[in-house]
A = this chain, B = another copy of it.
Amino acid sequence: MTELQSMGARALSASKILATASEHTKNAALQAISQALLDNMEDILSANKQDVDAARAGGMNPSMLDRLTLTGQRVESIAKAVLKVAALPDPVGETLSETTLPNGLSVQKIRVPMGVIGIIYEARPNVTVDSAVLCLKAGSSAFLRGGKETINSNMALESIMRRAVASVGLPEDCIQLLHDTSRATAQEMMRLRGYIDVLIPRGGAGLIASVVENASVPVIETGTGVCHVYVDADADIEKAVNIIYNAKTQRTSVCNAAETLLVHKDIAADFLPLAQSRLQEKNVELRCDKKAMKILTNVTAAEPSDFGREFLDYILAVKVVDSTDEAIEHILRHNTKHSDCIVTENKQTAARFCAAVDSAVVYVNASTRFTDGEEMGFGAEIGISTQKLHARGPMGLREICSYKYIVRGDGQVR
């Protein structure tokens, strides 16, 4: 048995106990974790300082450095988020359906924990706590692999959380972190069949591609978002300006931010100058196709590769289309099945768009920024799925569970 297999075996054993733990016990564990984070603040910050110092010496860029850095306030808000998860309803054990077959067999479908959930992520120590507590509440063991830049912070957090879990009588092995952050170990983790029931990568496109390419355990692909806002001929222009401004600029580094604006030709001359002037408040660079260039000044000509590109920055690709069908075709060709929006007052056009656009979340007259577990009422999320298997869009507690059937009879045979 390799070291990883034995970690996996411990995670599996722990998951069997956790699977039948009461909601009360799981919540007690989360409360203990939250309190322990506050009580051990100094240890956490000093471990984090080691990571930050090393990263700064290694020349990490400021935005990554910021994600890596913990402060007293940030730890407090992590601890508060744990309590929010404790307050969410327990997803485990809910009866999803119940039927009686003609032969008298009763078939009950109930939600059960996934078992062992693997999470591979990058330089954000808050993900360590966040992932572990969501898994715990959903009755599954968390098998975590963070980036090497954040290993000291993560080890401190792991140790604090494990002690807290043990303090309420649950197995500490329901939270385990890979201490070896080598690439080889990550690869082995991706192939730990029989121990890991699902692997969720949380991070940039490169990480996700590597997991999808190498994993033999089932994966839920998350993340990349090339979101479109299509302003239809029948759009309310004021709504459209507000929506594209919000979807592009409220936070640019996230997967549910808009990256491409499509505009119907009949409304382009009225709408585009107003949108441009609003977007200029945040100095958004517009990369325009030829038709949009004819309407706007002080813009950049778009390269073909700007369409379908996830800028994650104050940059927006802009294209004028001849019809809703052209907009739909463009979206189907260039999106990442994440979130796409139509702005229109025409219900039939909206219905056609909703039926044809194959994204996790399709919007009519609202910002794509709402694709988020908290915003959509799930309470929390472990990521946003961009695949069609298992879960789509924000994944909350229910989405990281599985189900099983219980069939009760009185001696029935075939």
Contact = CB atoms under 8 A, between A and B. Distances in A.
Contact of A358 (B246, B359, B392, B404): B404
Nearest to A115: B388
A19 B358 CA distance: 10
A276 to B, nearest CB: 18
B369 A405 contact: no
Contacts of A74: none
A288 B77 CA distance: 59
Contacts of A393: 404-405
Interface string A195-238: 00110000000000000110010111100000000000000101
Given A115-B358, A218-B218, A389-B220, A243 B413 contact: yes
Contact of A407 (B362, B387, B392): B362
Contacts of A243: 411, 413
A250 interface: yes
A247 to B, nearest CB: 8
Contacts of A376: 101, 107, 405, 407
A360 interface: yes
Interface string A380-407: 0000000111101100000000111111
Contact of A360 (B212, B370, B404): B404
Contacts of A40: none
A277 interface: no
A250 B19 contact: no
A41 interface: no
B112 A358 contact: yes
With a 10 A CB-CB cut-off, give which of A212, A236, A376 has the most chain B CB atoms. A376
Contacts of A281: none
B406 A364 contact: yes
A243 B409 CA distance: 11
A365 B358 CA distance: 44
A359 B407 CA distance: 12
Given A198-B389, A405-B361, A366 B105 contact: yes
Interface in A286-324: none
A413 B369 contact: yes
Interface string A342-353: 000000001000
B250 A413 contact: yes
A363 B404 contact: no
Contact of A361 (B197, B220, B402, B407): B407
Given A365-B408, A414-B246, A20 B355 contact: yes
Contacts of A221: 218
Contact of A363 (B99, B377, B409, B414): B409
Contact of A356 (B20, B101, B218): B20
A330 to B, nearest CB: 14
Given A101-B377, A219-B218, A406-B354, A236 B411 contact: yes
A197 B389 contact: yes
A16 to B, nearest CB: 7
A387 B20 contact: no
Nearest to A213: B216
B413 A246 contact: yes
Contact of A409 (B220, B365, B406): B365
Contacts of A407: 361-364, 366, 370, 376
27 contacts: A16-B358, A19-B358, A99-B377, A197-B389, A218-B218, A218-B221, A218-B387, A218-B389, A238-B411, A239-B410, A242-B411, A246-B414, A360-B404, A360-B405, A361-B405, A363-B407, A364-B407, A364-B408, A366-B408, A366-B409, A367-B412, A367-B414, A375-B414, A388-B402, A389-B402, A392-B404, A393-B405
Given A242-B411, A243-B413, A365-B410, 16 more contacts: A19-B358, A101-B377, A107-B376, A197-B387, A218-B219, A220-B389, A236-B411, A239-B410, A250-B414, A358-B404, A361-B404, A361-B406, A362-B406, A363-B407, A363-B409, A364-B408
